[in-house]
Amino acid sequence: MALYGIPVLVLKEGTKRTVGRDALRSNIAAAKALAEVLKTSLGPRGLDKMLVDSFGDVTVTNDGATIVKEMEVQHPAAKLLVEVAKAQDAEVGDGTTSAVVLAGTLLSKAEELLDQDIHPSIIIEGYTKALKEAIRILREIAIPVDINDRESLRKVVRTSIASKYIGGDTVANKLTEISIDAALAVAEPRPDGTKDFKVDDVKIEKKKGGNVLDTQLVYGIVLDKEVVHPGMPRRVEKAKIALLDAPLEVEKPEITAKINITSPEMIKAFLDEEAKMLKEMVDKIAEIGANVVVCQKGIDEVAQHFLAKKGILAVRRVKRSDLEKLERATGGKIVSSIRDLKPEDLGYAELVEERKIGNDKMVFIEGCKNPKAVTILVRGASDMVLDEIERSLKDALNVLRNVMRTSYIVPGGGAPEIEVAMKLREYAAKIGGKEQLAIEAFASALEEIPMILASSCGKDPLEVLMELRKLHAEGKKNAGIDVLIGEVVEDMTTRNVIEPLLVKESMIKTAAEAALTIMKIDDIIAASPAKKEKEKEKEKEKKESEEVPKPEF
């Protein structure tokens, strides 16, 4: 840009700018590419992705959230979709793949409308109306569920973990029962009759070795630690547990201090005084009746000796999160100063025992009276299997939390998407104008989910879509595709394929909001790379030129 022949620099040198439709198309292309990666991993017949990071560590999974987190995405628009998956995972813990795929499809349909010279603002307005109507329709078709009925919870969990590879029905049944038991143990009733719990209250502890079927639920906490001193008991019944986040050590001065010692007696007096202080700490713990100490910080060797003499089992360097879970499980209270320790601060457990699991020792704190935190000890042959089991259990727990919160479900297998799409087309006809096209595009995007499910089990997606549309037009609103047998079923609830309403609502909301955010962008201003990066590139080019062999004459 020049003004009276003088160049005016608005942006920094090296900055790249993409404007208008070019910017929008660039963003849409990036989002579509990411959605395309995840598309094939949707549903029970979805395929896995192998992700290798810069350190060479391998992750094999079809979990949408894990795939997008492990992928090193560079494009800013694709990063937005990664954030969508993370948000969906944080909010409801399931439906991440569907959210990214739907967002990509919504943008793909919007691109078709842009080709017809429809302004992005009109598409945004149409999509916003379609989103509101879609949520209303979903709530209308939702089925109430009794959250106290174990069979209903079992069906919801099985649908969630059906898409993960966890080694067949026997393993799936075992994990289903464990996750339901864990959720029911920590769930607390709410005034409106629903229940709620934090997924973090269920600790998942992985230990390589054994079989997946050796996975067990412990009504208490398992610590991946061992008892600190060989002279301590390895088993304590009717344990009274002191939870400390203070060190059982003599505190070091904050400033540098020097002590001038002139005789051996002075050294002995100094050490005796240190031992006396530690003995007083241990005496205080024993005096209030504690026979187990779980400490977040260190325990001095002299203190270990005194604890062992008193017959107190001690564990040190326990993570803060584990200490908080112990507080919820045992009913104890975390104390920051040993001086303030009182008998009512002690937690209770029927048994505290050190056991050998695989090649390692672990401390089991179990038999708590009313545990509000429990542990699932996962066993498996390899780290890859353990990680996939952990992801399956987290999905199962999230699904249980969601259904307990809202106590409404919708059928799976693409049934709600087809029903919402059909109702949206009727709604679009009432709206009219160019917005009608945007609402219809939203409906078509929703239909992409059952088409992908059909494709993953080897069926013709278009044939399946036509058959589902026909059944829904006849009023069979629960009709969907059972991917495991590859057939269209008139009522998916009879096949026990159901999902929490909260997951479906959140999936459509986050996908639509991501698509709307990307469609509002009409200008990309990318700063030039940092100087260090430029210098690195120059060095790389220089090295490459030096490595080229010179011709011999």
CATH code, 502: 1.10.560.10
With respect to residue 542, please indicate whether it lies within any of the assigned structural domains.
no
Which tokens hold the place of 88? Answer: 């969906």
Rounded Cα distance between 169 and 381, Å, is 18
Rounded Cα distance between 249 and 252, Å, is 9
Q: What is the mean pLDDT of residues 427-433?
A: 86
Residue with tokens 């062992």: 308
Distances (CA, A) of 143 to 131, 409, 478, 509: 20, 5, 10, 20
Rounded Cα distance between 92 and 502, Å, is 7
Rounded Cα distance between 470 and 455, Å, is 19
Which tokens hold the place of 153? Answer: 């919870």
Residues 233 and 104 in one domain: no
Residues 178 and 243 in one domain: no
pLDDT at position 545 is 60
pLDDT at position 551 is 46
Residues 210 and 259 in one domain: no
Q: Which of 12-26, 357-371, 436-450 has the lowest mean pLDDT?
A: 12-26
Q: Is the pLDDT at 105 greater than 80, yes or no?
A: yes
Pair 243, 223: CB distance under 8 Å = no
Is pTM beyond 0.85? Reply is no
- Share of the chain residues as helix, strand and coil, in percent rounded to the nearest 5: 50, 20, 30
Distances (CA, A) of 309 to 93, 280, 346, 363: 48, 14, 20, 20
- pLDDT tens profile 346-383: 989 999 999 888 788 999 998 888 888 999 999 888 88
Reduced to 3 states (helix: H, G, I; strand: E, B; else coil), residue 286 is: helix
Rounded Cα distance between 158 and 44, Å, is 11
Residues 327 and 456 in one domain: no
Residues 439 and 349 in one domain: no
Looking up residue 212, the CATH number of its domain turns out to be: 3.30.260.10
Q: Which of 131-140, 191-200, 463-472 has the lowest mean pLDDT?
A: 191-200
pLDDT at position 530 is 62
Q: What is the DSSP string of 26-58?
A: HHHHHHHHHHHHHHTT-STTPPPEEEE-TT--E
Reduced to 3 states (helix: H, G, I; strand: E, B; else coil), residue 532 is: helix
Looking up residue 226, the CATH number of its domain turns out to be: 3.50.7.10
Q: Ramachandran region of residue 244, left (φ > 0), alpha (ψ -120 to 50) or beta?
A: beta
Q: Check 96, 375, 406, 510 and give the catalytic one.
A: 96
With respect to residue 74, please indicate whether it lies within any of the assigned structural domains.
yes
With respect to residue 65, please indicate whether it lies within any of the assigned structural domains.
yes
* Residue of 343, 338, 349, 337 whose CA lies nearest to 313: 349
pLDDT at position 131 is 93
* Residue of 57, 56, 35, 61 whose CA lies nearest to 46: 61
Residues 289 and 416 in one domain: no
With respect to residue 150, please indicate whether it lies within any of the assigned structural domains.
yes
Q: Check 40, 395, 406, 482 and give the catalytic one.
A: 395
pLDDT at position 543 is 64
Rounded Cα distance between 528 and 546, Å, is 27
Percent of all residues in the chain with a pLDDT value above 70, rounded to a whole number: 89
Q: Is the pLDDT at 65 greater than 90, yes or no?
A: no
Q: Is 283 a catalytic residue?
A: no
With respect to residue 270, please indicate whether it lies within any of the assigned structural domains.
yes
pLDDT at position 487 is 85
CB atoms inside a 10 Å sphere around CB 266:
12
Residues 348 and 432 in one domain: no
With respect to residue 546, please indicate whether it lies within any of the assigned structural domains.
no
Give Cα 270 to chain centroid, integer Å: 52
pLDDT at position 128 is 92
- Select from 344, 370, 396 the last residue of a domain: 370
Q: What is the number of domains present in the chain?
A: 3
Q: What is the mean pLDDT of residues 165-180?
A: 80
Distances (CA, A) of 422 to 174, 310, 449, 533: 39, 73, 14, 52
Pair 165, 179: CB distance under 8 Å = no
Residues 18 and 84 in one domain: yes
Q: Check 61, 66, 97, 406 and give the catalytic one.
A: 97
- pLDDT tens profile 254-295: 677 777 777 777 777 767 777 888 888 888 888 888 899 999
Average pLDDT, the chain: 83
Residues 277 and 262 in one domain: yes
Q: Is 395 a catalytic residue?
A: yes
Residues 236 and 347 in one domain: yes
What sign has the CA pseudo-torsion 527, 532, 538, 544?
negative
With respect to residue 39, please indicate whether it lies within any of the assigned structural domains.
yes
With respect to residue 153, please indicate whether it lies within any of the assigned structural domains.
yes
Q: Is 300 a catalytic residue?
A: no
Show the beta-strand stretches assigned E in 338-373. 347-357, 360-366
* Residue of 311, 102, 325 whose CA lies nearest to 219: 325
Query: What's the domain range around 390?
Result: 146-216+375-406
Residues 446 and 517 in one domain: yes
pLDDT band of 540, cuts 50, 70, 90: low
Q: Is 194 a catalytic residue?
A: no
Residues 250 and 359 in one domain: yes
Q: Check 40, 59, 61, 63 and give the catalytic one.
A: 63
- pLDDT tens profile 471-505: 999 988 888 888 878 888 888 888 888 888 888 88
Q: Is the pLDDT at 534 greater than 60, yes or no?
A: no
Rounded Cα distance between 532 and 538, Å, is 10
